[in-house]
Amino acid sequence: MSTSVSSKNKNLVTHSLENNQGIKIQVLNLGGIISAIKTPNRNGELEDIALGFENPEQYLSEHPYFGAIIGRFGNRLANGQFILEDCEYQLASNNGFNHLHGGLKGFDKVLWEVESFEEKNATGLKLSYLSKDGEEGYPGNLWVTVIYTLTDDNILKVKYQAKTDKTTILNLTQHSYFNLSGDFSKQILDHNLWLNADRFLPVNTHQIPTGVYQNVADSPFDFRTSKTIGRDIEVENLQLEIGKGYDHCWVVNNEEKTLVKAAEVYHPHSGRVLEVYTDQPGIQLYTGNFLDNSLPSKSGGTYGPQSGFCLETQHFPDAPNQPHFPSTILKPNEFFSSETWFKFSTKKQ
């Protein structure tokens, strides 16, 4: 079942998805923002597990990409520069020296066209946007479609599709912050995390990958056996110092480049489980290290450091400047398609 409601600002529309298991998801036409994900705990109590705001109009002000679609290029580009077909492009530097998440007005800040649809055992929203040639400095008209599908077996499927009329770069992701406790006054350090990754990408002091694929063995970055997010987050480690915690891209074990399980998070107290499946080569774990109590929380109070985590499936940061990384180039005769699933469930104690 899907519904839509306009806010006081007539341009802002909230669309709601609900399945037959009682899961409820709210999506804004602004930035394709997932503003709420209400799932039951092991006792059947429904709570919101996605950081964000109660009032849709608050998303018009600056915020750390709560729940948004990220593009045209997600994550960081060193010095806001890249070369494509012998032409050098200079984008906005909106993160120190870096270009971050599409620039000053990325896909998170634009209005998307939204159509609702119903399928057997599923309900969904089709979001469409035309990013015009030169927007935020990127080449080519880019037609983007993002499809959110909520199934009756409690999977939120996110399908990305794009085509261009001029060679460009593309790195799309979804930037939801999760707190499976349903209590945003609590940190996420007690969540158990498993990552399907033998390697991660260390970064320099500007948070740009050094280009090295580093083995996670014997490091705080080894989540191949499930452990709490907080277990090693304060270990003396240069990489953790740079990001004030985890803010790194892991290389997903996926030689076949098919849809694989990349991550699983379990919150013992609530019993909630989040599984992430993707066909993308990377997954960025961000533990909300820069949340600074400046933004109001849905549950009262403010969002403090590490009150939410992100698992952003994507290509690697700075890929256009590092040729040995998987390519993020999209050409006019190509069609980009990728899929990520977020599966919600509970475990008994």
Residue 175 designated active-site:
yes
Residue count (the chain) = 349
- For tokens 């309900």, the residue is 123
Query: Looking at 99, 101, 312, 315, which residue is catalytic?
Result: 312
Q: Which strand (E) or helix (H) includes residue 161?
A: strand 155-164
DSSP 239: H
* Contact indicator for 291, 312 with CB cutoff of 8 Å: no
Q: Name the β-bridge partners of 173.
A: 70
Amino acid (one-letter) located at 181: S
DSSP 112: P
Minimal CA–CA distance to 319: which of 221, 211, 244, 231?
Answer: 211
Q: How crowded is residue 96: how many other Cβ atoms within 10 Å of its Cβ? A: 12
Distance of alpha carbon 71 from alpha carbon 51, whole angstroms: 20
Query: Looking at 99, 175, 191, 248, which residue is catalytic?
Result: 175
Write the CB contacts of 310 (distance below 8 Å, at least 6 apart in sequence). Answer: 175, 176, 177, 178, 284, 285, 286, 288
Amino acid (one-letter) located at 158: V
Minimal CA–CA distance to 34: which of 197, 146, 142, 187?
Answer: 146
Residue 18 designated active-site:
no
- Catalytic (active-site) positions: 175, 312
